[in-house]
Amino acid sequence: MTMPQKNIKLTIEYKGTAYAGWQVQPGQKTIQGDITEAIYKTTGEKVKLIAASRTDAGVHALGQVANFIIEPQLPAERYKEALNFYLSDDIRIKESCRVALDFHARRDALWKRYRYLISLEKSALYRDLRWEHPVELELQKLKAAATLIVGEHNFAPFCVVASRRENNSCRVAAAKWRQVGSLLVFEIRGNRFLHAMVRSLVGAMVNLGTVTKDKNPQNLTLERFGNIIKSSTNERVVFTAPPQGLYLVSVQYEKG
């Protein structure tokens, strides 16, 4: 007799340095691949694991969310302990719980929050966890640029061309910079994000905020950055921050 299915929601933390991103790729070590394999080792079942965000190679997560549907094997809360037994120390299941069968980690997400870390000094220990960029930056310019991002805009210029869609509009609810010691911290919250969008935005803002730059016609000013944000142009912004400074912080599913 067929058992009723359960939908299991996972909240996941990972260090993406050694991985080719979230999504399974032939011959590559991926977060999705390792967790799916851990589920198989736990249950003997091959499941479809759906994530809220397909993070790129080298990108980290503090609160990635994923779900899978399976016939009852364990109480939902037991998957956390069981999967962590098989996972490397770079991946931790922080929570496992049962959700409605129609819950979908990507489609049901209302907001996602990302954080980007830039260090103004180098470290022997933390270089895989931030962009080490010991160049003088004007924090006020970075803050001014962040205010221009807020709102609903066509972010195609900040998306990998091959990944653009028919609709490249995203609604950004908050974007801000702050300094914590030698760290510059960028936080952004939006309803959706295009491929490489956050890294491209950070790269562009660092370019316009650099105190001393080589004279290059591609260099951005605050005015030009604002015009790109406001216009419907598909002009590709060529400045992209490296992946190791980016974190998926959290995914929000309920209003409020």
pLDDT per position as a tens digit, 35-47: 999 999 999 999 9
CATH number assigned to the domain with residue range 111-252, chosen from the 4 options 3.60.20.30, 3.30.70.660, 3.40.50.2300, 3.30.413.10: 3.30.70.660
Radius of gyration of the chain (CA): 20
Average pLDDT for 53-59: 96
Average pLDDT for 237-249: 95
Alpha carbons 145 and 156: distance in angstroms, whole number: 17
152 forms beta bridges with 171
β-strand pairing of 50-51 with 60-70: antiparallel
Residue where the block lists tokens 């944000």: 229
Q: Is the pLDDT of residue 213 over 80?
A: no
Among the ranges given (86-90, 227-231, 240-244), the one the predictor scored with the smallest mean pLDDT: 227-231
Q: Where in the chain is the domain with CATH 3.30.70.660?
A: 111-252
Q: Rounded to 5 degrees, what angle do the CA atoms 81, 84, 88 make?
A: 165
**What pLDDT sits at residue 217?**
63
Q: Where are the alpha helices (DSSP H) in 44-191?
A: 79-86, 139-149
β-strand pairing of 111-119 with 6-14: unpaired
Residues 6+ positions from 175 with CB-CB distance below 8 Å: 146, 147, 149, 150, 186, 187, 188, 189
β-strand pairing of 169-180 with 183-190: antiparallel
The percent of residues above 70 in pLDDT, for the chain, comes to: 96
pLDDT bracket for residue 236 (50, 70, 90): confident
CATH architecture of the region 6-99: 2-Layer Sandwich (3.30)
Among the ranges given (47-56, 122-131, 205-214), the one the predictor scored with the smallest mean pLDDT: 205-214
pTM check: above 0.85:
yes
Write out the catalytic residue numbers: 56
β-strand pairing of 111-119 with 183-190: antiparallel
Tokens found for residue 23: 């999504």
